[in-house]
A and B are shown apart, each in its own frame.
Chain A
Amino acid sequence: MQKRKIDPLLLIGLIIIAGSLFLAVFGNSLAPYDPQEPVGDFSMPPSADHWFGTDGSGLDVFSRVLAAPRVDVAIAVTAAIVSAVLGTGIGLYAGYFTGRFSEIVMRISDILQSFPVFILAMVLVTLTGRNVVNLIFVLAFLYTPIFVRLTRSEVLTQRTRTYVEAARATGNSEFQIATRHVLRNSLAPSLVQLSVTVGFGILLTAGLSFVGAGVRPPTPEWGIMIASGAPNIILNEWWTSVFPGIAISITVFGYAAAGNAIERWARK
């Protein structure tokens, strides 16, 4: 057998994803200081005691960067998984059993997808209450149509294949064919999309709190941190915004890279 070379892009992506998940679970315990309690002087530049400095309220930036994945990554991952499961299920049904239900589902997801996403997210989060659970619901709701569409179009091409005929001929029920055979062969696009969606979820979560429509300060959250440092960046107080931004930048790149690598691998 030929020795398989691991795609370096996949490796980078998986390392970053693993790191982000690790911090989402253990970030709080690793943080040297309480991320929500003032620990020293205001607006101190990076030093041996405070690696990333302190922000305008005297909070330790390093501790907050470590603790933030518990909000950002947890929201995005949960929302992405919920929307992937829901969307794949609906897409499988709508694609395999075409009919009126399928039509209605597609029209609804058409309309949902033509909404201005950021404004809709803002409206839904603000009006339901700005907290983590509502953010997860809203993101999951916004991202489900993507998975419906992807799965449905894949199922539409799979259901005419010979293996479906074969499965039918050997006496499988339609439900069994759909859930056992067609589903397994239609998962690749959703898997790619899952990784990409986590990245977008992190960006949306951070963006919403950046404009004041997401989770509330002083929750350790990357978007809030960037926003709190934004007015002072022209006073040379760069560390408050720079470090959480680097964290977002690396994290979303990791999810995008993994998604891209999986896509290339699936195409082989």
Chain B
Amino acid sequence: MRRYVLRRLAVGVLQALGITIAVFFVIRALPADPVSRIVGMNPTPESIAQARRALGLDMSLFQQLLTFLGFHGNGVFTGSLGTSWVSGSTILSEIAITLPTTIQLIVTSFIVALAVAIPIGMATARRPGGKLDKGVFGYGLFAGAQPEFWWGLMFIFVFYFKMGIAPAPLGLLDPELTAPDAVTNFILIDSLIAGDFTAFKSALGHLVLPVLTLSFLLVGPLLKMTQQSMSRVLSSEFILYQQASGLEKKSIGRSTLRAALAPIITLTGILFGFMLSGAVLVESVFSLNGLGQYSVAAVLNLDFPAVQGVILVISVISLFVYLGLDLLLAKIDPRILVK
């Protein structure tokens, strides 16, 4: 078990590093000039040379990579992702503010989506071919590919503008409130720490529409997977045996769910990794200032350290999520470790 985790971690860290180094070279190989953004209009040759030196772009590519990794002072290996070429603050401090917002959005959306998808999926698996079954099929097909940013806008139009039951889609809190002291940067948690329930309620309210948008789409594939997995287990011999032995319905249900859980968890992990960067469109519709919006700004400003930092952080998080889910799977179904 320990060896398995260590091996996975080692492979994963190498992979994340590989991705980051690939990104490092790719963004420098492509024909875009970050210096022209910084020196402004009508630059003198001296100011261009000075800017290149300040950004470290006058060094050879290989030296730049060594600097980035931390062989000359602070770098990835010493826990630094460098400073932004646009704002001048460290990339880590900027990610520390934006990442929790994104995680909070995604985790809440997954909780809602799973709470809807699993019970309905279980119910339809018991009655295949029924009305609910057909409805679920249609919904899963439809929600599998939809423009989430447009749905977000539609929800804003209906629930904020027409019905007035959702708060204005601008940021994490009502504008007249002062944000609670930043401890974790998860605004829900920070407002609880500060004991500020007005802020907590406001933050929760601002989360409703973005979470509705994301879970509206996430429910589709999760529902389909729950249904498939459940009906496969329901027709398996060990469930038949349990039924024949006269076990209680409740306990049969529990073992069915347990046996059916693995593919659902795997899919959740894949979707979670995808959402880390895929939530960007919903973030920008609701002006949430999460990691996604940060990455858009970084790319459009040609802020190379920020781009590298975001991609490295997302890769590392997905790595831990996949590992954590695999450990969870092994706990549910120990046969996995034997293979």
Contacts and interface: CB of A to CB of B under 8 A. Distances in A.
B19 A124 contact: no
A261 to B, nearest CB: 10
Contacts of B22: 111
Interface in A193-248: 196, 199-200, 203, 206-207, 210-213, 223, 226, 230, 233-234, 236, 238, 241-242, 245, 248
B6 interface: no
Given A111-B15, A111-B18, A116-B276, 18 more contacts: A116-B318, A117-B277, A118-B280, A119-B310, A122-B299, A124-B30, A126-B302, A128-B31, A129-B31, A210-B281, A223-B147, A234-B157, A234-B168, A248-B150, A249-B146, A249-B147, A253-B145, A255-B145
A256 interface: yes
Contacts of B141: 9, 253, 256-257, 260
Nearest to A200: B145
Contacts of A260: 141
A197 to B, nearest CB: 10
Contact of A207 (B27, B142, B281, B302): B281
Given A111-B19, A210-B281, A211-B284, A123 B145 contact: no
A59 interface: no
B307 interface: yes
B167 to A, nearest CB: 12
A118 B290 CA distance: 15
B145 A199 contact: yes
B19 A233 contact: no
A206 B32 contact: no
Contacts of A126: 32, 299-300, 302
Contact of B30 (A116, A122, A127): A127
Interface string B134-175: 000000011011110111011011001100000011000000
Interface string A104-122: 0000001100111111101
Contacts of B160: 234
**Interface residues of chain B: helix, strand, loop or mixed (majority):** helix
A256 B146 CA distance: 10
A212 to B, nearest CB: 6
A223 B147 CA distance: 9
Contact of A233 (B161, B277, B295, B314): B161
Interface of A: 9, 110-111, 114-120, 122-124, 126-129, 196, 199-200, 203, 206-207, 210-213, 223, 226, 230, 233-234, 236, 238, 241-242, 245, 248-249, 252-253, 255-257, 260
B158 to A, nearest CB: 10
B75 interface: no
Contacts of B154: 242, 245
Contact of A211 (B32, B156, B168, B296): B296
Nearest to A116: B277
Nearest to B28: A127
Contacts of B307: 119, 123
Contact of B150 (A9, A226, A253, A257): A226
A256 B147 CA distance: 13
B3 to A, nearest CB: 22
A122 B146 CA distance: 19
30 contacts: A110-B15, A111-B18, A115-B19, A116-B277, A116-B315, A116-B318, A117-B277, A118-B278, A118-B280, A119-B277, A119-B314, A122-B296, A123-B299, A123-B307, A126-B32, A199-B145, A211-B281, A213-B299, A213-B300, A226-B149, A233-B156, A233-B157, A233-B161, A234-B160, A241-B153, A245-B150, A245-B151, A248-B147, A249-B146, A252-B145
A241 B158 CA distance: 13
Nearest to B322: A114
Nearest to B149: A210
Contact of A245 (B153, B281, B296, B300): B153
A110 B299 CA distance: 24
B274 interface: yes
A124 B32 CA distance: 10
B146 A252 contact: yes
